[in-house]
Amino acid sequence: MFSDMVAVEVYRIAFYLLSFLCLQAAAAAKRAEELGFVDVAHFPDLPMPDILHGFQDQGISVVRELCETNKMTSEIRSVCILLLQIVEKSLYLEFCVSQVCGIRPVMGRIEDFSKEIKLLFAATTGHVFLEETVKSLKQITSYVYPGLLQTEGCL
């Protein structure tokens, strides 16, 4: 029980850090739009894609596992929402990194992510409390991996 409590607190801290980085990235994007170019010297330091992928993979697998157990207490529901928000924010930051730096996802990552996100969407089906979060997650996924959700039949 103690380990679970500590893990949730670590996830909350990660969520706050990702939220802060998303605010910084949004401000930098707005500044770039006003200037007409990306001022890399004033662009925030964002995590490397592999760190963001780690957030995504862990969030997806934990939420999927929790949804499949069907023991949804209010605490577990809030953890599921928190983890999906972490996945969403890490995808947003990945999108920012790819747009600013021109880094495109490698083929192996697209295949792995495709498989995992499809399993996540299947596991969250029927959990009404996750509908809005999943809808938002699908939206950012369609930006980071264009065409992925259409080819997987997830939309």
The answer to whether residue 45 scores a pLDDT higher than 80 is: yes
DSSP 104: -
Q: Out of 35-39, 77-81, 127-131, 142-146, which region has the weakest mean confidence (pLDDT)?
A: 35-39
Element (H, E) at 40: none
What are the residue ranges of helices labelled H in the chain? 2-35, 49-69, 74-101, 107-124, 131-144, 148-152
Give every CB contact of residue 130 below 8 A, 6+ residues apart in sequence.
67, 80, 81, 84, 124
Q: What is the band of 38 on the pLDDT scale with cuts at 50, 70, 90?
A: confident
Its pTM stands at 0.88
Residue 155 has a pLDDT of: 55
Amino acid at 99: Q
So what's the pLDDT on residue 26?
A: 86
Rounded distance between C-alpha atoms, residue 136 and residue 130, angstroms: 10
